[in-house]
Every structure is written in C-alpha cells, then in structure tokens.
C-alpha cells in the first residue's frame, strides 16, 4: 500500500511539474532555399495544432513548451520539424520547394501546373485508369470517370469511337465535341483508336472558360488534353512487357423474339399457316441472336516499352499489337503501333524534343444502322426461328446448293461473300525546341505533321449465286495532312517574395488538307480475281474534291499569385478561320479566373491539422466554335448538272459572306475541400450561354433560290448545371488500403432563341422539335393511350388530352423527354491488401430517352408479319374484355410514344483483381460485366435520338500478365 501511494505521489508531482512548466518564446525568419527570399504565410504549428503565420518579411514569433516539436509548413514546400530549446531563442528556417511529381502535376493549356494552384475547372485522369482497360481506344475507359463528361457509344464495333460531350450540348448544327489535344497537337475523334492507351501518362479535362479560353476558336465544347509517357527513372532503364488475352460477348442483350413454338402458334392464330409443314419445322429452333453474335470473340494484345532518364535526357519507346474480333460477323480490328518520345538538354539553356507515332490498322466493319435482309445485325431480327443458317455438318447453309431453306439469302453467307475492309496508315510527329533567352524568360517553338491514309476494299464474289456469276470490286482512297505550328514566350518573375507573375504570349497556325476518290468495277468471273484490274467495266467513279482549311491565332495569358493565397488568371485570344468570309473572319475570346486558398489564411492556421485543402474559385469568359463544313460561306457552282441530257454547270450552295463565329460564354463557381488528407470534395456550379449559333437555317426554296437552307449565325442556348466529385481513403496502412470515389453531374439545357422570330421548328424524320423554352433534342410525337378493351383498337391522346382512335399529325406534342442525358456520373472502389488488389468502377447515365426503332418491325402487329416478331404479340388483344397494350392483329404499330423508351443505364464498367510479385503482375478483369436498364433493346447506350439495328456493346473477360525490369 505504501508503494502504491508513493507511485501516485511521484506521478502527481511529474504531472504538476509538466502542467506548471512555463512556455518560452521562439522566433526567427522563414526563407526559401530557391531564392533566399522570405516566405509569407508559412505556418508554425505546435503538437496540439496551435500556431502562427509568418509576416510579410518572413518573421514569426511563437510561445511553446521547451522540448516540444514545432512543424513548419508552407504550400509548395517540404515540411520541416524543429525542437524548442529549454530557454527558447531563435530558430531560422530555410525551406526547400517540393518537386512537382506526377501525382501533383496538372496538365493545362500550354503548360503544367501544380495541383491546387489552378483557378479553372480541370479534372485529371491518371494512367492507371486507362492502361489496363481491354479496349482499342481510351474513350471507353473514360466513361464514368469525370463529373460533367458524358461518354456514349452508338456502336460496339471495335474500330468506332465514342461520342463525348462536356457539360451539355452547346450547339444545334455546329460541332459539339470537345477539342482533343495530344502532346500539344489537335487531333480528331476518328484518331482515338490510333493511340495505344498504355502510352498515355494522363488526361486533363478542361471544363470552364479560365482553362479553355486560351484555345479560343476551338474550345467552346471543352478541351481534353492527352499527355503521353516520358522517361522518369534516372537510376536505370526500365523495360516493361505486357500481354492480355480475352474473349468478348454481348454486354446486355434483351431478346424477346419468338422461338419456333411461339412462331408456329402466332402463324396459326393469324391465318399464316397455309402450306406450312409444322411437323418438320417444329424440329428446328434457332436463336438468331446466338447464331449471329459471337459469344467468344478473341481479344489479344502485346506491348513492349523501354524508358529512362538522366539529368540531360529522357526517353520512352514502345511498340504494341492489338487485335479484337468483333462480336458481329464481318467485324474486326487489328493495330500495330510504335511510339518514340525523346527529350534532350543540349545546353544549360536549350532543350529539344520529338514525339513520334506510327500506326497501321486493319479494319473489317459490319454493316449497321440500316434494315436489310442480308446484313447480319438487322437480319438477325427478321429471320424466322425455323430457318437454320447451318448444315448438319456445321458449314453455312448455302443458296448455291439449296441447303438454305429460308426466304431470301442466308445473312451469314452473304457477309462472307461481300467483305469490306479498310487499311489505315497513321503518322504523327511533333518536334519542339525550348530556350531560356534570359533568366525566367523561355521561348518554345513546336511544329507537328499529322498524316493519315485510309484505303477501303470491298468485294462481292462471282461464285455466290445471287451475283449471277459476276463479281464486284470497290476501292477507295483518302488522304489527310494536317500541319500545325505554335510559338510561345513565357516570362516568370517574383516581386519581393510576395507577388509571383507568369506572362505568356503565343502564336499558332494550322493548315489542313484532304483528298480522295473511289471507284467500282464489275464483271469479274473468278473469286481470286475480284479486283478493279479484272473488271470488264467501271460502274461508278467519284473524286472527293480537295478540302482545305487554315487557321491563324494569337493569344496571351497572365497569372498572378499573391502569397500562395490569391491566384488570378486572365487570357485573351484572337483567331482567324478560312471557314468564314473576309467580312467576319476574325474572332476574339477571353476569360478571367480567381482562386482563393483559404487554408493559407492566418485564421485557418488552427484547422490545418485536419483541413488539408480549402479553395474557392470563380471564372468567366468566352470561347468559340467554327465546326462547320469548310466552304459554307462561299456561293458555289458544280459541274454535275443536267440540261436536257447534256452536262451543265449549276449552283450547288447558297453561301453567306457574313458567316462568323459561334460564341459560348461560360461562368464557373467551384469549392474544393480536403479533410485529414483522407477525404476530398469538389463541388462546382456552371452556366453557359451560346450566342450566334452556327445553324443551317431552313428557308423556302423560293427564298433560297432552290436550296432550302442557308448557314447563318442565329439563336441562343443556355446550359447550366452542378457537379460533385468525392474521393475518400477509408483505410491507409502499410499492408491495407481502401479508397472509394463518386462523381455526378447534372445539366439543364434550354433553347432561348431560334431564328428570324421563329419560336419552333420541327426536325424532319427525327420525332424531335426545336422550341424556344424547351431543351434541345426534345421528342415531339403522338401519345399512345393504350388499347380499347372492347374492340382492340389502338388509342391515342389528342393535343388537348382527349382519347381518340384517330392518329393525326396535328395531335403530336412535346413530351418533355430528350435524347440528351441531363444526369451522368460514376462511382468505384479500390482495395489493396499487401500485394493483392481489387478495383471496380461503375458508370451511369440517367434521364435520357431513345426511340427503339427495332420494335417498329418486331411489334408490327401484321405490317411485317412475314419476318419474325416479338413474343409480346402473343399477348395482343384477341377478344372483347382483353386488357393489354398491344392492339388486335392488323392494327399496325406506328411511330408514337410507345416506341420511346427510357435509355438510362448503370453499367459495371470495369472489375479487376490482380496480384503483384516484385517484377511480375498478374490480373484478371471484366469489362461491361453487367448493365441495369429498363431499355428493351440489345444495348441502352447510344448518342442519337434513335436506336436502329445497332451494333451492341461487348462484354470482355481478359487475363493480363506484366513484366517490369
């Protein structure tokens, strides 16, 4: 007991002594190791998070307990720790700047910034999100990754690119795609599949005026900046070999067409059974979805790269082969690609570099988007289930030997005898030189040449009976050369260690040229000689006239940083485009931006222990759009006229010399917060106003001299919305980490003005209508009201909402539904336990509608009864009292609201599990593993207003192996 009391006494003595220990004063100067200047706003914190901030001269004074530890921290500098002496005193601190590593780098227009110092709205996608995804191009891997970026594919054909929009659709007839910049060079969406995703270091999505306006004429729809890899490791050369092998099948696939038993029942009920041998036909039951689409299409890729760096050189060289069989017959994609990036410091003030890419593609494309009885994607819906496309030995049933028993032709045999292939050759080279003209003044000149050649070759073999012994050969050739040059002068300087300035002036030019031709020859008599050279006659010849486009630009940008707390940006750009007449060729665009770093304010010092980021940003400005055909401002004549049987010259285009730039004014308000270095929240509001829209304005033929339209600058449109991005690290230890992410964007779109006082205009053959006060792409249709249970008639609502059995064009109304999705986003998780990793990423699109054109044929209710039909027709109205939404047989399906479907979907975009050894990584993944949707077609994903015989997206299962040395 005595010992216990003695221990308690000692403990209390020590505690009282510590409590009563007096604080001492510590003071000093905080300076930068880079230039020796004082650091303003640097924080000095004790172990409890209490602290002060250095003044304008870098001085600080602080009371702390002797022996305690102080932390010195400043944005852009490495933290330092110092122990408080027993009697206090002077502690002068020299802080070193943080290196700008890849995780902190944000690629913006004409430069790189440190994360947290950008006033504009920029989202970055790093290489790990792209490099292992089993897709031919990076676009599909972006789906669901960035708030405000909508990525949709109207085709699952391997060589086709996706459609991207940033923060809504800004124009009616002009281009709506973002500007794509690859290593400083503008490229088109058709070039996506020429880029090996494994060669991409990072991608920056520039969304607001402050970040895009410097691109001026091309940036009204946002900008996506793609940066390829460089050598980083200065200790040794790094060699990487990666291979993937997998299979593909249909990603979704709602299929409700009749099987043989259902088809026979339907034919008997509708009086189509005359002459049918149902005893024999009932022995055949073909699911044409399985017959046409491959459920194990092979996918393979091989990549080899070499990279390294020294104090004067960095390099990255890669070669790859990618091959993907399409899930539909007659489609495949093969690519051989080579990339070499090289940078060299040739003197202390001069640096040079070159990026080159060479690419060869072999493409076979399936016919999609049109309804025929011979192309497999559409024919799969028309073929009856008792028509077997194969013989008993597994070979194709042929019309040549009579083994094909169906009507018309076997679509699988037709595609085999009518192949269409393309070969594409791509070369892109960019070279730059960078020189320090004086201290902090850098001049950079960059030139690029982008060349592509595409050759098409189509055949129809004479041995195929429907060709009646005569072959056909088609050849086409297209060449594109795009030359670009840019020169920039950048000056950085600091005043008193308090004010940091960056000024840039630049000039840019572009010259685009394309040309091509196609020729068709017939009369070949041998399958092996089915080429143009062996044709007996040329049946068509067309030459694509040379098409040229040029652009000249001058621009400037100023950046100002006050004490790492206040960031200001301003940019101005002037562009001239050959697409406009001399009257209106030049356009000027500008923007301003501001970012306030609240965390560096003195009042935030006590919160720095848990508040890792706090920024408020605002930007506003304009950018332009000139994405129209190259010569629309000119009045043109052509030589394809006909005058009483003789060739003639005739006007072919109305022209408009006053045609000028479409302009988009964008404002953005952003809040960015981080907590405990574990949770990051980004919330942004934006508003965009498009004016002087480039539109092919419809005119009467009399008013337009027989053309029916004229390109003009008309109308206004607004887009406004909100975006949120959340990223959290739930667990972070040496052996276990768990991260989650979520992003979502909402866009509100309205047309506020059309043209010539017109408030509404119907888009012919689209079931949509442009109306002031309504969104772009809103559907305009008759409203289906169901079926009269007394007699099986189809019913509709008239314009006033009354029910009628008369379908009248005058009763069509706006339905409040658009094919442009207002909602998009994604969420995912990443889990690591020691060397085992597991990740998943979901994407979603909501509020989007499409007309399912397939149902017009499948549920025709008698109009196309000789083709296979949906099994839903067995539930049609048959007798008085039946309650159903399908009228009686013979009351045909019309283009009304029953065909309009909600195309919202949620898709598990990627699921991956991997295990890493010291130099080897093994992984398995699934792409598009499952899809949740109410859409009844094969695939809810699409970018247009209508779903018609579409090539569906594929689901891939792949296994990967990666070696690093």
Report residue 811's pLDDT band, with 50, 70 and 90 as the boundaries.
very high
Does the structure show a pLDDT above 90 at 641? Answer: no
Does the structure show a pLDDT above 80 at 631? Answer: yes
CB 419 within 8 A of CB 459: yes
What's the mean pLDDT in 431-447?
Answer: 93
CB 506 within 8 A of CB 110: yes
Length of the chain, in residues: 965
pLDDT at site 41: 67
Q: Any idea which of 311-325, 476-490, 601-615 has the lowest mean pLDDT?
A: 601-615
In 3D space, the residue among 556, 410, 532, 425 whose CA is nearest the CA of residue 478 turns out to be 425
pLDDT at site 75: 60
In 3D space, the residue among 936, 945, 900 whose CA is nearest the CA of residue 782 turns out to be 900
> Going by C-beta distance under 8 Å and a sequence separation of 6 or more, which residues neighbour residue 413?
389, 396, 397, 398, 399, 404, 464
pLDDT tens by residue, 358-412: 999 999 988 888 899 999 999 999 999 999 999 999 999 999 999 999 988 999 9
CB 332 within 8 A of CB 363: yes
Q: What percent of the chain has pLDDT over 70?
A: 94
pLDDT tens by residue, 242-287: 999 999 999 988 899 999 999 999 999 999 999 899 999 999 999 9
Average pLDDT value for the chain: 89
pLDDT at site 830: 94
DSSP assignment, residue 397? P
How many Å apart are CA 879 and CA 890, to the nearest integer? 14
How many Å apart are CA 537 and CA 786, to the nearest integer? 56
Pair of tokens at residue 604: 């935030």
How many Å apart are CA 270 and CA 62, to the nearest integer? 94
In 3D space, the residue among 33, 50, 49, 52 whose CA is nearest the CA of residue 41 turns out to be 52
User: Considering the entire predicted model, what is its pTM?
Assistant: 0.86
pLDDT at site 337: 96
Pair of tokens at residue 384: 């009856």
Phi, psi of 267, deg, nearest 5: -65, -40
In 3D space, the residue among 121, 110, 117, 106 whose CA is nearest the CA of residue 688 turns out to be 121
Pair of tokens at residue 666: 């964008």
Query: Where does residue 275 rank: exposed (0-12), middle (13-18), buried (19+ CB within 10 A)?
Result: exposed
CB 919 within 8 A of CB 964: yes
CB 329 within 8 A of CB 366: yes
pLDDT tens by residue, 123-138: 888 877 777 777 888 8
In 3D space, the residue among 6, 43, 46 whose CA is nearest the CA of residue 23 turns out to be 46
């Amino acid at each position: 007991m005595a010992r216990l009391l003695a221990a308690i006494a000692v403990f209390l003595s020590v505690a009282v002594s510590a409590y009563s220990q007096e604080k001492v004063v510590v003071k000093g100067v905080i300076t930068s190791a880079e230039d020796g200047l004082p650091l303003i706003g640097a924080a000095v914190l004790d172990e409890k998070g209490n602290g002060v901030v250095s003044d304008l001269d870098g001085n600080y004074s602080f009371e702390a307990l002797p022996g305690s530890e102080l932390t010195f921290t400043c944005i852009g500098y490495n933290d330092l720790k110092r122990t408080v002496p027993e009697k206090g005193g002077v502690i002068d601190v020299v802080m070193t700047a943080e290196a700008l590593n890849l995780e902190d780098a944000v690629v913006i227009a004409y430069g790189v910034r440190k994360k947290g110092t950008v006033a504009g709205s920029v989202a970055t996608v790093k290489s790990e999100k792209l490099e292992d995804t089993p897709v031919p191009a990076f676009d599909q891997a972006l789906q669901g990754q960035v708030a405000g970026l909508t990525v949709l594919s109207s085709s699952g054909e391997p060589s086709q690119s996706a459609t991207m929009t940033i923060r809504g659709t800004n124009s009616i007839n002009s281009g709506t795609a973002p500007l794509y910049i690859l290593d400083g060079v503008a490229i088109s969406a058709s070039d996506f599949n020429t880029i090996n995703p494994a060669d991409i270091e990072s991608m920056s999505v520039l969304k607001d005026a402050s970040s895009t306006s410097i691109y001026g004429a091309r940036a009204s729809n946002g900008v996506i900046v793609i940066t390829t890899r460089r050598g980083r490791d200065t200790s040794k050369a790094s060699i990487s070999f990666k291979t993937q092998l997998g299979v593909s099948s249909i990603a979704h696939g709602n299929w409700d067409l009749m099987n043989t038993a259902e088809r026979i029942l339907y034919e008997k009920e509708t009086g189509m059974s005359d002459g049918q041998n149902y005893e024999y036909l009932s022995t055949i039951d073909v699911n044409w979805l399985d017959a046409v689409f491959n459920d194990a299409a092979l996918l393979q890729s091989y990549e080899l790269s070499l990279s390294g760096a020294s104090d004067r050189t960095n390099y990255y060289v890669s070669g790859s082969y990618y091959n993907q069989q399409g899930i539909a017959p007659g489609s495949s994609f093969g690519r051989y690609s080579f990339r070499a990036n090289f940078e060299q410091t040739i003197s202390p003030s001069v640096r040079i570099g070159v990026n080159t890419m060479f690419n060869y593609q072999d493409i076979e494309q399936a016919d999609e988007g049109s309804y025929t009885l011979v192309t497999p994607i559409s024919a799969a819906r028309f073929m009856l289930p008792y028509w077997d496309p194969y013989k008993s030995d597994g070979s194709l049933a042929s019309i040549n030997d009579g083994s094909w028993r169906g009507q018309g032709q076997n679509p699988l045999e037709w595609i085999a005898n009518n192949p269409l292939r393309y070969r594409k050759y791509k070369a892109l080279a960019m070279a730059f030189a960078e020189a320090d003209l004086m201290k902090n003044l850098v001049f950079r000149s960059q030139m690029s040449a982008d060349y592509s050649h595409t050759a098409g070759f189509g055949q129809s073999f004479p041995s195929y009976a429907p060709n009646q012994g005569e072959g056909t050969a088609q050849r086409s050739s297209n060449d594109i050369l795009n030359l670009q040059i840019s020169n920039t002068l950048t000056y950085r300087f600091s005043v008193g260690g308090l004010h940091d300035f960056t000024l840039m002036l630049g000039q840019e030019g572009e010259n685009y040229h394309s040309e091509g031709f196609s020729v068709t020859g017939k009369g070949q008599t041998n399958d092996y000689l089915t080429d143009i050279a062996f044709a007996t006659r040329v049946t068509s010849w067309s030459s694509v006239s040379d098409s040229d486009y040029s652009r000249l630009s001058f621009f400037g940008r100023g950046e100002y940083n006050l004490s790492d707390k206040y960031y200001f940006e301003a940019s101005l750009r002037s562009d001239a485009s050959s697409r406009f007449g001399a009257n209106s060729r030049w356009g000027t665009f500008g923007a301003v931006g501001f970012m306030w770093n609240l965390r560096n304010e003195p009042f935030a010092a006590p919160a720095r222990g848990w508040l890792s980021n706090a920024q408020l940003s605002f930007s506003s400005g304009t950018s332009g759009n000139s994405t129209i055909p190259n010569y629309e401002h000119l009045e043109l004549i052509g030589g394809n006229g006909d005058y009483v049987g003789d060739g003639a010259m005739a006007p072919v285009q109305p022209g408009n010399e006053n045609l000028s730039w479409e302009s988009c004014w964008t404002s953005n308000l952003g809040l960015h917060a981080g907590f405990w270095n574990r949770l990051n929240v980004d919330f942004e509001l934006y508003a965009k106003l498009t004016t002087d829209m480039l539109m092919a304005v419809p005119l009467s033929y009399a008013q337009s001299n027989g053309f029916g339209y004229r390109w003009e600058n008309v109308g206004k449109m607004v887009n406004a919305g909100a975006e949120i991005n959340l990223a959290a690290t739930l667990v972070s230890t040496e052996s276990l980490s768990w991260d989650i992410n979520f992003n979502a964007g909402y866009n509100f779109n309205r047309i506020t003005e059309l043209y010539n006082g017109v408030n509404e205009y119907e888009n012919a053959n689209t079931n949509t209508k442009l109306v002031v006060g309504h969104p772009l792409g809103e559907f305009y249709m008759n409203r289906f009201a169901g079926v009269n249970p007394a007699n099986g008639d189809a019913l509709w609502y008239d314009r006033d909402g009354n029910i009628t059995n008369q379908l009248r064009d005058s009763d069509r109304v706006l339905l409040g539904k658009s094919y442009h999705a207002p909602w998009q986003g994604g969420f995912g998780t990443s889990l690591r336990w020691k060397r085992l990793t597991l990740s998943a990423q979901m994407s979603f699109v909501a509020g989007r509608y499409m007309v399912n054109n397939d149902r017009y044929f499948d549920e025709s209710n008698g109009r196309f009864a000789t083709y296979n039909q949906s099994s839903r027709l067995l539930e049609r109205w048959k007798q008085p009292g039946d309650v159903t939404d399908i009228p009686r047989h013979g009351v045909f399906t019309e283009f009304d609201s029953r065909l309009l479907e909600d195309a919202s979907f949620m898709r598990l975009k990627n699921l991956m599990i991997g295990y890493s050894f010291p130099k080897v990584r093994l992984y398995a993944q699934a792409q598009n593993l499952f899809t949740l949707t109410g859409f009844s077609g094969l695939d809810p994903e699409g970018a247009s207003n209508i779903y018609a015989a579409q090539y569906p997206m594929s689901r891939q299962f792949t296994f990967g192996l990666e070696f690093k040395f």
